[in-house]
Amino acid sequence: MCLQCAGKPAAISPALLTGAEAWTSAELCAHAHDHARVLAAAGVRSGQVVLAPDAPARDLLLLHHALSDLGAAVLPYRSNLTPAAVQQLVIHTSAEWHWSAQLTATGYVPPQPPCPAPALLIATSGSSGSPKVVMLRNDTLWASAQAVNTRLGLRAGNLWLACLRLSHIGGISIAYRTALAGATLLLHDGFNAAAVNADLRRLPVTHMSLVPPMLARLLEIDPTPPPSLRVLLVGGQALSAALAQRALAAGWPLVRTYGMTETASQIATQIPPSPPFSKGGDEGVPFEKGGSGEIEPGIALLPGVELDAPHCAEPLRRLRVRGALVMAGYATPTRQLGIGLTDGWFETADLGCLAADGQVHLHGRADAVRVIGGTNVALARVETVVNAAAEVTEAVVVALADDVWGHRLIAVYRGSATPAEVQRHCQEHLRGAELPRCYLRVRQLPLLASGKYDRQRLTASVERLIRRVEARQ
């Protein structure tokens, strides 16, 4: 059954808006049925996998509707991926088909016949390591949509602006939520700050999802929130106190969320605030200026999530997740279920704890701790402090290898503050090994297709720059 047919069709509102086009639920379902018949005639069968580029986003979404109707899975990929990288996806997942301008068989013969594929295969962002391909079942995706819709109050007549790419779980999961609620999906081909801002002013958008770098760019264009917006989801990486305070003070209905590809998007999400968004309790700004080690305040688990985490008075360790929102496993050529899980548990790369009130507190990634002069230093804490400096728009801290100290920290930032001003701020809030050795102001910070910071690329660039400087000395 196609996504739209499985949801709650709205009687009046369009189900999908793409530029100048508007599709009703009935039109989407009819297209899905017709397209599914064409795919079946070409040889696509239930349980098979079809690779497809994520742009144009409209084409990918319509293909996904048709494949869902057929019982086949889609594996979306970045439209600028090299042919060699696409072929690696084919080999890694034993995908039978590739859709670009037209449907073609991949011709790949797996080492043994693969198991039937779940509904969606999707790569992780790879923001801090090599991406993996996650397999998600239909029931998992719909359970996630139901849990998120209940928390956010998404319903028929609402309009969700989707500008996260559909090759990432944060983008494609919105299609499930709007279909289930009978809401309208306003689909963009990725994030363009000017285009997003224009639609926010032109249309009655009620919901939107961003990662922090996107939020920073949107606030630079126009800090005034549109009056129709009820929920601005921000997740994907740690949200700095400074950026959160800027958005909340301006009146944006900021809703922090935490999740990952392996959990079909969110597992913990803040309860949406009521106006005025910048005042009062959990609706205010509970971040500590400058940071005290806690990266973000607590957020509430979604229903259907079982979390294995220490109490906040105990030593931190990696969070483990189990339940209806957890993946079927990482893809391999045999597509065997359960890879990456232990007795149904998925161990995340994030450090965190559970407070007495059941709120989840996040403390950065386990792989983002560096030993400097014998001291464990959390990069997320240092990043929080740098971001809190006056006239710093956004910042990333990278760690380079050092023969004497083990590592040295470099703060890379955007903003009008001088390196000396940022350094003075850090000296007031950080001590010893936590202090960056160098402060670099840049025009732009590199981003992945997901909108997250490309930390690997940034680290490599900084390393080359430092080497050139040291060679001249």
Flag whether 149 is in a domain.
yes
Shared-domain flag, residues 220 and 114: yes
CA–centroid distance for 43 within its chain: 34
CA–CA separation, 70 and 60 (whole Å): 15
- CA–CA dist 73, 286 (Å, integer): 42
3-state secondary structure of 252: coil
Query: Is 360 a domain residue?
Result: no
Nearest to 212 by CA among 462, 404, 395, 473: 395
Q: Are residues 31 and 169 in the same domain?
A: yes
Give one DSSP letter per residue of 190-240, joined into a string. S--HHHHHHHHHHS---EEEE-HHHHHHHHHH--SPPTT--EEEE-SSPPP
Rounded distance, CA 286 to CA 289, Å?
A: 9
Which single residue is written with the structure tokens 């363009």? 192
Q: What is the pLDDT of residue 362?
A: 86
Statement to judge: residues 124 and 231 lie in one domain? yes
**Residue 214 near residue 237, CB atoms below 8 Å:** no
d(CA 398, CA 389): 17
* Rg (the chain; Cα; Å): 22
Residue 20 lies in a domain: yes
Domain extent, residue 392, equals 367-472
Q: Helix 379-387 vs helix 419-429: angle between axes, to the nearest 10 degrees?
A: 120
**262 and 389 share one domain:** no
Same domain, yes or no: 262 and 381 = no
Distance CA 391, CA 418 (A): 9
Which residue ranges of the chain lie beneath pLDDT 70?
Answer: 1-2, 4-13, 125-130, 274-297, 473
Q: b or e along 312-345 (b: 16 or more beta carbons within 10 Å of the residue's beta carbon)?
A: beeebebbebbbbbbbbbbbbbebeeeebbeeee
Is 151 domain-assigned? yes
Query: What's the CA gap between 40 and 33, in Å, rounded?
Result: 10
Considering the domain architecture, whether residues 165 and 261 belong to the same structural domain is answered as yes
- Global pTM? 0.83
Q: Which residue among 259, 283, 307 closes a domain?
A: 283
- What pLDDT was estimated at residue 376? 79
- Considering the domain boundaries, does residue 180 fall inside one? yes
Residues 259 and 394 in one domain: no
Together in a domain, 277 and 373 = no
How far is 181 from 152, CA to CA, in rounded Å? 11
Instruction: With beta carbons less than 8 A apart as the criterion, state whether 360 and 352 touch.
Output: yes
Identify the domain boundary among 283, 303, 320: 283
Residues 381 and 274 in one domain: no
What's the number of domains the chain is made of? 2
Structure-block tokens of residue 419: 């390196």
How many Å apart are CA 27 and CA 9, to the nearest integer? Answer: 11
Q: Is residue 461 part of a domain?
A: yes
Residue 300: phi and psi, rounded to 5, are: -90, 140
**Whether residue 236 sits in one domain with residue 139:** yes
pLDDT digits (tens, 9 = 90+) for 433-466: 899 999 999 999 998 877 888 888 999 999 888 8
Query: Do residues 150 and 303 make contact, with C-beta atoms less than 8 angstroms apart?
Result: yes
* pLDDT at residue 283, rounded to an integer: 36
Instruction: List the one residue out of 415, 238, 162, 88 whose CA is nearest residue 75.
Output: 88
Whether residue 389 is found in the same domain as residue 277: no
Measured CA to CA, the distance from residue 58 to residue 339 in angstroms comes to: 32
75 with 179, same domain: the answer is yes
Is 312 among the domain residues? no
CATH number at residue 53: 3.40.50.12780
Q: Is 179 domain-assigned?
A: yes
Structural domain ending residue among the three candidates 243, 265, 283:
283
pLDDT in tens, 289-338: 333 333 456 789 999 899 999 998 888 889 999 999 999 999 999 999 99
User: How many Cα neighbours within 13 Å face the side chain of 368?
Assistant: 26
User: Which CATH number characterizes residue 435's domain?
Assistant: 3.30.300.30
